Chains A and B, each alone.
Chain A
């Protein structure tokens, strides 16, 4: 059974701080890793994807992947109240066509 695990939170950070969101996955055959943001009652919105070990930066967001530790993280710099949402980690597997989602971490950015 392929699993994607996230701390459900809530993670609370002050405005302007760095928010760090973490995710672990169970299957070493994992190929692609995604972070989605989901506001309450809305659909998942793709923020970042990463395929290779290391860091990938896009604006205020940095995704980090460590395949040896089966660990992927998302850093949000200069957090804003509008970043308050649930962040979903998702993993796709080699040879497959589906993406497995974690349960999400709720982030709350205090103004």
Chain B
């Protein structure tokens, strides 16, 4: 069964460093998303991406964050100058058809900023 894959599964970084989280969405999906979940809290929307551009972003997704689809398969989230409060699980997800349909999540990347 097709699945969304994320790498790495766990990333430890020093405060102020840049990190890139990587995702390979399901191959025939058209919409891509990043969500995060701080330990013990809600899953929070960060950004959606369609047709090679951001379609919607939350107030969390400030200038510190960027997304890119550098080729036909990968989808990345870059966090510049990480802060302690960026420590969370980051989930990539993809949807097959139009927006607001079911999203399938990857296994997540646990980011720890020290």
> What is the interface of chain A, defined by CB distance below 8 A to chain B?
31-32, 34, 36, 42-46, 49, 88, 90, 92-94, 96-104
Seed contacts A36-B105, A43-B89; 17 additional CB < 8 Å A-B pairs: A34-B103, A42-B107, A42-B108, A43-B107, A44-B91, A45-B105, A46-B105, A92-B100, A96-B56, A96-B100, A97-B31, A97-B50, A97-B55, A97-B56, A97-B99, A97-B100, A99-B100
Residues of chain A within 8 A of B55, CB atoms compared: 97
Known: A43-B108, A88-B43, A98-B48. A49 touches B102 (CB 8 A): yes
Residues of chain A within 8 A of B35, CB atoms compared: 101
Q: What is the number of contacts between chain A and chain B, taking CB atoms within 8 Å?
A: 62
Residues of chain B within 8 A of A97, CB atoms compared: 31, 33, 48, 50, 55-56, 99-100
Main secondary structure of the interface of B (DSSP, over half): strand
The size class of the interface chain B forms with chain A is: 20 to 34
Residues of chain A within 8 A of B102, CB atoms compared: 32, 34, 46, 49
Whole-angstrom distance between the Cβ of A25 and the nearest chain B Cβ: 14
With a 10 A CB-CB cut-off, give which of B43, B45, B91, B107 has the most chain A CB atoms. B43
The one of A44, A96, A101, A102 that contacts B99, using a Cβ cutoff of 8 Å: A96
Residues of chain B within 8 A of A44, CB atoms compared: 43, 91, 105
